Amino acid sequence: MTRNQFWTLTRRLVSYAVLSAVTFVVCFPLVWALSTSLKPKSEIFAMPPTLIPKTATTENYKALITGRPQYFQSGGQQVTSGTTPAQFFTRWFFNSVIVTLGSTLITITVSTLAAYSLTRFRYWGRTVVPYFSLLGYMVPSIIFVFPLFLVMVQLNLTDSLLSLVLGYVCITLPFCMWLMWAFMRSIPIEIEEAALIDGASRLQVFRQVVLPTALPGIIAAAIFSMIVSWNDYLFGRVFLNSLDNLTLTVGVMLFFEGTHVDWGLLMAASVLMTVPMAILFMALQRHLVAGFGAGAVKG
């Protein structure tokens, strides 16, 4: 082995070791949550702890999905009636989906059109708007929550999903618009002109040429918006209060209430919360890299 090969090998080993350690740290909570969610009650606190459940059970998932009351009091007695968080799980999941899709749809529509206008039309202020839109990100969102809440009170929208949709649009729109602006700027105007000469109308140019070309940017912006809306706790906590209207992040916190925490149920809920975003991410990550890349280089 030459000196060179030795160093190459060493470098590779070291980087693999570091990457493995990081991967472990990142993945362990997820794996542990999955493992716990599949364990029967008796095994959750077993010593020594097991990573792979000895007797796997899907009881927790069934309870969440069917909404069957399955709530243990501190004595270990099963309660089969009354209000329990598990009953509301599907409702909250549905609420989260509605809020996430709603806010993303609005954000994407508005930011795409705004970015197109900012890059293609000439009017006063079009050069400064994208930069100012980023200013909001230098302030923690807790600053916005209460003013926005007061606005919602004025609009009579408190404790509604619509208030949350509008709240999320407020925080995702500026960044998505900046992202789309950077992306639109990188689309050469010539391809639009070529389409105009080829015989397309303005609207056809936008639909058939601009939108498909901007698709990676749109996907990147949509993923960003979905992650923010899906994972938010703060806005949901402040804006909502009736059990029926909660989103997943706020609702799952209720699993901690009372004297007893049903860890199996809580972990199953956490896993189910993670799954949609994980699937979305894996399916679209290729576009995400392209989208953020284009924004970063050209912006």
Partner 1 sequence: MDVKLERINKSFGQVQVLKDIDLVFPSRKFITLLGPSGCGKTTLLRMIAGLEPVTAGTIRFGDRVVNELAPRDRNIAMVFQSYALYPQMTVRRNLGYGLRVRKTPKAEMDAAVGRVAAILEISHLLDRKPAHLSGGQRQRVALGRAMVRQPDIFLMDEPLSNLDAKLRVTMRAELRRFHLDLGATTIYVTHDQLEAMTMSDMIAVMHGGIVQQFGTPAEVYGMPANLFVAGFIGSPPMNLIPGKFRGGEKATFVSPDFSLDLPDASRQVVDGQEVVLGARPQDIALVPGDTASATGRGQVWVVELIGSEKLVEVTLGDRRRITAQVRAETAVNVDDAVGIQLDPRRVHLFDAATGLALRR
Q: Which residues bind partner 1 (CB under 8 A)?
A: 188, 190-191, 193-201, 204, 208-209, 212-213, 215
Closest approach of partner 1 to the CB of residue 297, in Å: 16
CB of 210 or CB of 265, closer to partner 1: 210
Neighbours of 265 (CB within 10 A): 26
CB of 157 or CB of 210, closer to partner 1: 210
**Rounded Cα distance, 239 and 280, in Å:** 27
Closest approach of partner 1 to the CB of residue 189, in Å: 9
CB of 26 or CB of 203, closer to partner 1: 203
What own/partner pairs with CB < 8 Å and gap ≥ 24 does 117-123 have? 118/177, 118/181, 118/184, 119/181, 119/184, 119/185, 119/187, 120/184, 120/189, 120/192
Closest approach of partner 1 to the CB of residue 200, in Å: 5
Whether the CB-CB separation of 172 and 224 falls below 8 Å is answered with yes
**Rounded Cα distance, 231 and 256, in Å:** 18
CB of 174 or CB of 216, closer to partner 1: 216
3-state secondary structure of 81: coil
**Phi, psi (5° rounding) for residue 233?**
-115, -40
Closest approach of partner 1 to the CB of residue 121, in Å: 14
CB of 10 or CB of 208, closer to partner 1: 208
Closest approach of partner 1 to the CB of residue 209, in Å: 6
